[in-house]
């Protein structure tokens, strides 16, 4: 099973465009074996598009609060997200780490809160630059983020390896180097959850994936799916990515 997750980031600006992109994307996805598609619009569009989500296309959120309830002005709880039909939450995206200084501690709490609410967590990790101690950066980020996760919840844990230098730049990582980094992530998962569980855990790639370069990544079985930003805002482009991402033995 591979996951292809659309992260719309802070787009689109208008309700009618959110409805159109979501509706067109759902219309282009039939029932597909071996692939799970989710779309993560900005919070305000979640109730607008939620009735269009189907078993074939899940609704997801780009972030969540770390508490289940309480006096947290401006925050949204994972329980609320579940209530409105979300199945999945992106946690610790590099844009949140960079622009709102989301800390390792907050990311750890958000991951636990998301899983506790019964949602899938898509935990993002990745180095700033491919230089210096970049491998250590991946290992430490992953180790810190998963520290408090209970073994019972790991069926709903996905990791997204997103090298920051590849996000939104048009310069994707190479498929071979992506696999090397995914194996680093998997080493941390093995230490924490054991080899058998870690082998099953999907580790996705994100960073400038488009309908052209997807083919080079799709042939690598170690890559558990894709987190797609700009390439997900056009339903036609995104559906090409989804089709190409299917594992050959499952099509």
Residues that are catalytic: 93, 162
The closest alpha carbon to 67, from 106, 105, 108, 113, belongs to 113
d(CA 100, CA 46): 22
**Closer Cβ to ligand 13P, 143 or 230, answer by number:** 230
Query: Which range in 16-24, 101-109, 177-185, 225-233 contacts ligand 13P by CB under 6 A?
Result: 225-233
Please give the residue whose beta carbon sits closest to ligand 13P in the complex. 229
Burial (0-12, 13-18, 19+ Cβ within 10 Å), 31: exposed
For the segment 164-203, give every residue that binds ligand 13P (CB under 6 A).
167-168
- How many residues bind to ligand 13P according to rule CB under 6 A? 14
Consecutive H or E run containing 237: helix 235-245
Q: Which two tokens stand for residue 75?
A: 């925050």
User: Under DSSP, is residue 10 helix (H, G, I), strand (E, B) or coil?
Assistant: coil
State both tokens at 68.
């289940």
Q: Which is nearer to ligand 13P, 42 or 191 (CB)?
A: 42
- Chosen residue from 78, 126, 163, 207 binding ligand 13P by CB under 6 A: 207
How far apart, in Å, are the Cα atoms of 208 and each of 23, 118, 147, 181, 232?
A: 23, 30, 29, 16, 11
64 binds ligand 13P (CB under 6 A): no
The pair of three-digit structure tokens given for residue 7, joined into one six-digit string: 């992260």
Residues 85-104 that bind ligand 13P (CB under 6 A): 93
Q: Which stretch binds ligand 13P (CB under 6 A): 100-108, 109-117, 190-198, 221-229?
A: 221-229
Q: Distance between CA 41 and CA 194 in Å, rounded?
A: 34
| Shortest CB 200 distance to ligand 13P, Å | 23
Which of residues 173 and 186 has its CB atom nearest to ligand 13P in the complex? 173
Q: If binding is defined by CB under 6 A, does position 162 make contact with ligand 13P?
A: yes
Residue written as token pair 């924490």? 192
Look at the block and give the residue holding tokens 């780490």: 97
Within residues 226-245, the interface with ligand 13P by CB under 6 A covers: 227-231
For ligand 13P, which residue of 208, 218, 224, 242 counts as binding (CB under 6 A)? 208
User: Is-cis flag, bond preceding 12, omega within 30?
Assistant: yes
**Smallest gap from residue 98 Cβ to ligand 13P (A):** 11
Smallest separation (angstroms) from ligand 13P to the CB of 65: 19
Q: Cα–Cα distance between 138 and 64 in angstroms, integer?
A: 22
Are 211 and 172 spatial neighbours (Cβ–Cβ below 8 Å)? no
Least distance from C-beta 119 to ligand 13P, angstroms? 17
225 counts as binding ligand 13P under rule CB under 6 A: no
Write down the least CB distance from residue 162 to ligand 13P, Å.
6
Binding site for ligand 13P (CB under 6 A): 7, 93, 162, 167-168, 206-209, 227-231
């Amino acid at each position: 099973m591979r996951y292809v997750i659309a992260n719309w980031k802070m787009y689109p600006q208008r309700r009618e465009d959110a409805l159109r992109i979501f509706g067109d994307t759902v219309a282009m996805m039939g029932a597909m074996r071996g692939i799970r598609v989710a779309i993560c619009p900005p919070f305000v569009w979640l109730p607008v598009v939620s009735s269009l989500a189907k078993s074939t296309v899940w609704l997801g959120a780009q972030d969540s609060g770390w508490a289940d309830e309480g006096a947290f002005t401006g925050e949204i709880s994972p329980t609320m997200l579940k209530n409105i039909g979300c199945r999945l939450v992106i946690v610790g995206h590099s844009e949140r780490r960079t622009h709102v200084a989301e800390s390792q501690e907050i990311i750890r709490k958000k991951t636990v809160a998301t899983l506790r609410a019964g949602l899938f967590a898509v935990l993002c990790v990745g180095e700033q630059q491919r230089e210096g101690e970049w491998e250590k950066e991946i290992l430490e980020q992953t180790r810190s983020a998963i520290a408090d996760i209970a073994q019972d919840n790991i069926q709903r844990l996905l990791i997204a390896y997103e090298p920051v230098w590849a996000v939104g730049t048009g310069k994707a990582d190479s498929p071979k180097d992506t696999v090397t980094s995914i194996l680093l992530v998997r080493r941390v998962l093995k230490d924490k959850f054991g080899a058998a569980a870690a082998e099953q855990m999907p580790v996705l790639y994100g960073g400038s994936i488009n309908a052209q370069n997807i083919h080079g990544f799709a042939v690598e079985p170690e890559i558990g799916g894709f987190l797609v930003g700009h390439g997900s805002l056009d339903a036609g482009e995104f559906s090409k990515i989804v089709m190409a991402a299917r594992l050959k033995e499952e099509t």
